[in-house]
Amino acid sequence: MKMHARVAVSLWLLLTSACGHANSVSPEIALAKTEAPTGPHTVVVFATASLREPFEALARRYETDHPGAKVDLHLDGGAQLFAQCNGGATVDVLAIGDSSLMSRFASGALLASSSPTELARNRLAMAVAAGNPKKIETLQDLARADVRTVLGNRSSSIGRHSRWVLSRRQIVIAPVLETNTAAAALATVQAGEADAAIVYATSFRSALGVMVVPLPEADNTPVLYSISVARGAAEPLGAKAFRSLALSEVGQGILQTSGFLPIGSKAP
């Protein structure tokens, strides 16, 4: 492994180790605002699909704060974003909801040195049809023969998080469908093609035809979102300014309004 890749991995391991303690990571709220480029410029942001609502709001705020600026926002499953970056796609900022996947970005030398940091946290929940006709109340219910369950595929962030909580209870599920994102899993339940799905707690905002069945803390897992400037960003000043916005008091407020938990949070 090249030296810069080893350094990136070491930095990321240090970050994720620190993030395991609720009070050990401080957002960059207190830091001076990073100055963006003056005049027209474009910041290319790759973000995991579950960040759609807050990142669309962050993009609008950035463009308002910097006349002439444009945020080119790409939203997809984390694995798909990784494949695009590995394939040479132009990207300035990366925001991912899976620390194990973010470590792959780091080991691939795709992140700027000293840039990866925690952005927010989330939790998992079960989505069921409105009225919960199958009376699904626990994770164990998802293994019932009469329940059609959809999960994220094994390469996706939501798929890894889902299988982690299922494995802790030694629950084995044969999903009727596997999807790339939590949003796609939720849409399957909305369409009546499945009875239940494991998604993020934030997936339900503005969702119709479904209801949430919360997972108790003992059955849940913290979903750690992180953000970084990309190594070799074409618009480095804009990338740093967008990252700074996301970590600022304004940006953190946008994320929490969208249902995300604060940096370092352990409880729902």
* pLDDT (tens digit per residue) in 39-49: 999 999 999 99
Same domain, 107 and 232: yes
Q: Are residues 109 and 233 in the same domain?
A: yes
Q: Are strands 196-200 and 124-129 parallel, antiparallel or unpaired?
A: antiparallel
- Domain contains 265: no
pLDDT in tens, 10-33: 444 444 443 333 333 344 443 446
* Mean pLDDT, rounded, for 162-184: 94
Q: What is the pLDDT of residue 146?
A: 96
What CATH number is attached to the domain comprising 168?
3.40.190.10
The pLDDT of 54-81, averaged and rounded, is: 96
Number of separate domains in the chain: 2
| Pair 157, 201 in one domain | yes
Which residue in 217, 197, 218 sits closest to 209, CA to CA?
A: 197
Residue range 221-228: mean pLDDT, rounded? 94
Separation of alpha carbons 254 and 106, rounded Å: 27
pLDDT band at 38 (very low <50, low <70, confident <90, very high): confident
User: DSSP letters of 183-203?
Assistant: HHHHHHHHTTS-SEEEEEGGG
Asked if residue 229 lies in contact with residue 239, where contact means CB atoms within 8 angstroms, the answer is yes
Average pLDDT over residues 194-201: 96
| Average pLDDT, rounded, for the chain | 87
Q: What is the pLDDT of residues 81-104, one digit of tens each?
A: 999 998 999 999 999 998 888 998
pLDDT of residue 7: 37
Range of the domain at 88: 3-122+222-257
Whole-number pLDDT of residue 268: 53
